[in-house]
């Protein structure tokens, strides 16, 4: 992520704190397994939101660094468990913990990262632990609700929206809230940032789901059509299904092949309409910042939704 | 658990708080899955330690109730994940979440319980979140270290001890510390209680491992010899292996049958010596209480190690 020079410095400190915390165990396997995915890199979007949002108050508090490192550790923990559930072999170009050390180590080192993330949150004090654990609970809820929708091509798009609000947007909103809370920003600024984070998170997930259908695997690093194969019908599919009965017929018949289904998702307007929704949400995220001063940190926040859309 | 009447009342409040927190989701599946094992009952040993230890300071603080409920939710979360790892079908006489709803819901509802436990801890404030998350990290570390010892019949018994200190005793010690911390007990009392908890936890795990070899399945509700079959060689086996070469030969040859191996564990003195260690630790736990006043709560604490040993 390119941004103001203070952000580069902030993120270097947070990176150090994350690696130190994930690698803190005296046992080499625990340290290696818990640091594995962090060392493979990543966009660090959630901790960046904490650090940028902390400019809404008095920046530079140690609590903001701790909260930023904590939220990424927790996010990585959820990825460890996702990879166990989906039996994913590679992520961020590296073998997953699950494929390298097996299910047991993947489940337990995910739990370890949760605990270490919560420990950082507790060290930060104030509201950090509350904001963080509430967001984790929401993420888990969203993920569990998603399992109940597997294979349901007639799920109302609004149900999809409320699921991704918990599964994904809750942690984006929490990142913004943590920045505001640890810097002592005003209630008004905090509310604007939380709204921004929530809308950004929704746009991010819709784009992520679109990329699974139409993304370039060279750029995404993911195998296209994974959601369809797993019976996870995302917004473009749900929207298209309402206009293209042939799509529903094929899905009901158990068809899961991307090449066969994608033309029907396109002809049903699913790609177009989902893209439009992501764009509206990204615009809405920027609009949520309107009451905030025009400074380099608000500029940095405005650039993130643009970057998310630019992947399409 | 039978004890002073205040303990019965305390535990009823804590039980209500746990069920309310585990069942807080608006989604029925999340609520049902997260409450499932709690509703099957259990000894509630860890929250009882919190409530009894809170008598070392000013009892009756809401923080103690919150911490007690939090530690049991976290403990239950680790059981959800244990059942995923071991593919256990029943626990406490009920089907496991894993067998009832599958791996995905078991992993995620375990995570949800972790988060809800941490949220209760954060609500309690003070040191609760720190004590709790540090203990969870220790438990996970101990469990990961244990995986590296699978199938190693020559593991030094001291390594076994240091593993169960993290895997099991850390949460017992944390329970005692939470009771002391939330009631504002003196530093001296707190240290005594933590030592008590750690020794009790060690004794508890040794007894649990002995019961896997010599317990009555009617009473334990578990299938005997499970550890052996999974290649987990516990204290009695490790101790016997040092005196009975025939045991090591059989284990090296891949023998995992309890009926074949138990006579060798017995002839090697493993059952006797491990029982002796558990007894010494239980006595040591009671000794740790010596500086504390002779009241009904210290009496309740003294009775717990006796109860643990009485299972043998």
Interchain CB contact of B98 with A (< 8 Å): no
Residue A310 falls within a domain, yes or no? Answer: no
Residue A309 falls within a domain, yes or no? Answer: no
CA–CA separation, A98 vs A105, rounded Å? 7
Sequence-ordered list of residues with C-beta below 8 angstroms from that of A211, at least 6 positions apart, any chain:
A220, A222, A311, A312
C-alpha distance from B298 to closest chain A C-alpha (Å): 30
> What domain range includes position A271?
5-302
Sequence-ordered list of residues with C-beta below 8 angstroms from that of B32, at least 6 positions apart, any chain:
B23
H/E segment holding residue A234: none
Do residues A206 and A270 make contact, with C-beta atoms less than 8 angstroms apart? no
Interchain CB contact of B130 with A (< 8 Å): yes
- Residue A2 pLDDT: 63
CA–CA separation, A150 vs A273, rounded Å? 22
- Residue B92 pLDDT: 84
Q: What is the CATH number of the domain that holds A150?
A: 1.10.600.10
The answer to whether the CB atoms of A84 and B78 lie below 8 A apart is no
Q: Give how far Cα B27 sits from Cα of A63, A171, B32, B292, B302, Å.
A: 33, 19, 9, 47, 42
- How confident is the model over A193-220, as a mean pLDDT? 96
Q: Give how far Cα B146 sits from Cα of A101, A116, A207, B226, B255, Å.
A: 13, 19, 41, 15, 20
Sequence-ordered list of residues with C-beta below 8 angstroms from that of A236, at least 6 positions apart, any chain:
A209, A210, A213, A265, A270, A271, A273, A274
Do residues A215 and A207 make contact, with C-beta atoms less than 8 angstroms apart? no
Residue A97 falls within a domain, yes or no? Answer: yes
Do residues A65 and A13 make contact, with C-beta atoms less than 8 angstroms apart? yes
Q: What ipTM was predicted for this assembly?
A: 0.96
Total count of domains within chain B: 1
Do residues B197 and B170 make contact, with C-beta atoms less than 8 angstroms apart? no
* Cβ neighbours of B121 in A, within 8 Å: 122, 129, 133
The answer to whether the CB atoms of A141 and B105 lie below 8 A apart is no
Convert the pLDDT of each residue in B185-241 to its tens digit: 999 999 999 999 999 999 999 999 999 999 998 888 788 999 999 999 999 999 999
Residue A307 falls within a domain, yes or no? Answer: no
CA neighbor of A143 nearest in space, from A241, A275, A232:
A232
Higher pLDDT, A172 or A92: A172
Cα three-residue angle A303-A306-A307, rounded to 5 degrees = 85
Convert the pLDDT of each residue in B138-191 to its tens digit: 999 999 999 999 999 999 999 999 999 999 999 999 999 999 999 999 999 999
C-alpha distance from A123 to closest chain B C-alpha (Å): 7
Of B25, B81, B133, the CB nearest to A122: B133
Cα three-residue angle A53-A54-A59, rounded to 5 degrees = 150
Residue A260 falls within a domain, yes or no? Answer: yes
Interchain CB contact of B81 with A (< 8 Å): yes
Search chain B and give the residue with CA nearest A28: B145
* Cβ neighbours of A134 in B, within 8 Å: 115, 119
The dihedrals phi and psi of A155, each to the nearest 5 degrees, come to -60, 135
Sequence-ordered list of residues with C-beta below 8 angstroms from that of B134, at least 6 positions apart, any chain:
A115, A119, B174
For residue A191, the tally of other CB atoms under 10 A from its CB is 15
CA–CA separation, B205 vs B226, rounded Å? 15
* Cβ neighbours of B33 in A, within 8 Å: 144
Looking at the predicted structure, is the pLDDT value of residue A1 above 70? no
Convert the pLDDT of each residue in A235-286 to its tens digit: 999 999 999 999 999 999 999 999 999 999 999 999 999 999 999 999 999 9
Taking every pair of Cα atoms in chain A, the longest distance, rounded to a whole number of angstroms, is 58
Residue A311 falls within a domain, yes or no? Answer: no
The answer to whether the CB atoms of B144 and A112 lie below 8 A apart is yes
For residue B279, the tally of other CB atoms under 10 A from its CB is 16
Weakest-pLDDT range from A218-227, B30-39, B240-249, B259-268: A218-227
Q: What is the pTM of this model?
A: 0.96
Confidence class for position B297, pLDDT limits 50, 70, 90: very high
- Residue A48 pLDDT: 98
In the DSSP assignment, the letter for residue A95 is E
């Amino acid at each position: 992520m390119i941004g103001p020079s203070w952000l580069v410095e902030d993120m270097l400190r947070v990176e150090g704190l994350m690696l130190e915390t994930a690698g803190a165990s005296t046992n080499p396997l625990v340290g290696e397994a818990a640091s594995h995915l962090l060392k493979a890199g990543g966009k660090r979007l959630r901790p960046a939101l904490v650090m940028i949002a902390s400019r809404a108050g008095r920046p530079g508090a140690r609590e903001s660094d701790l909260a930023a490192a904590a939220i990424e550790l927790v996010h990585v923990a959820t990825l460890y468990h996702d990879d166990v559930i989906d039996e994913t072999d590679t992520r961020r170009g590296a073998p997953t913990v699950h494929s390298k050390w097996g299910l047991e180590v993947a489940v337990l080192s995910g739990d370890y990262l949760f605990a270490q993330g919560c420990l950082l949150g507790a060290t930060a004090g104030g509201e950090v632990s509350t904001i963080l654990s509430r967001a984790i609970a929401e993420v888990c809820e969203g993920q569990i609700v998603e399992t109940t929708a597997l294979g349901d091509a007639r799920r109302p798009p609004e149900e999809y929206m409320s699921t991704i609000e918990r599964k994904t947007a809750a942690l984006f909103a929490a990142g913004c809230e943590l920045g505001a809370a640890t810097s002592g920003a005003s209630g008004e600024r905090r509310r604007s940032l939380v709204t921004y984070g929530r809308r950004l998170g929704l746009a991010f997930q819709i784009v992520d789901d679109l990329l699974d259908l139409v993304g370039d695997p060279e750029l995404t690093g993911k195998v296209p059509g994974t959601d369809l194969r797993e019976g996870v019908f995302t917004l473009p599919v749900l929207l298209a299904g309402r206009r293209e009965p042939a799509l529903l017929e094929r899905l009901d018949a158990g068809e899961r092949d991307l090449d066969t289904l994608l033309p029907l998702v396109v002809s049903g307007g699913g790609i177009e309409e989902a893209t439009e929704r992501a764009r509206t949400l990204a615009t809405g995220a920027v609009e949520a910042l309107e009451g905030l001063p025009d400074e380099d940190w608000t500029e940095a926040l405005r650039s993130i939704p643009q970057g998310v859309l630019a992947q399409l």
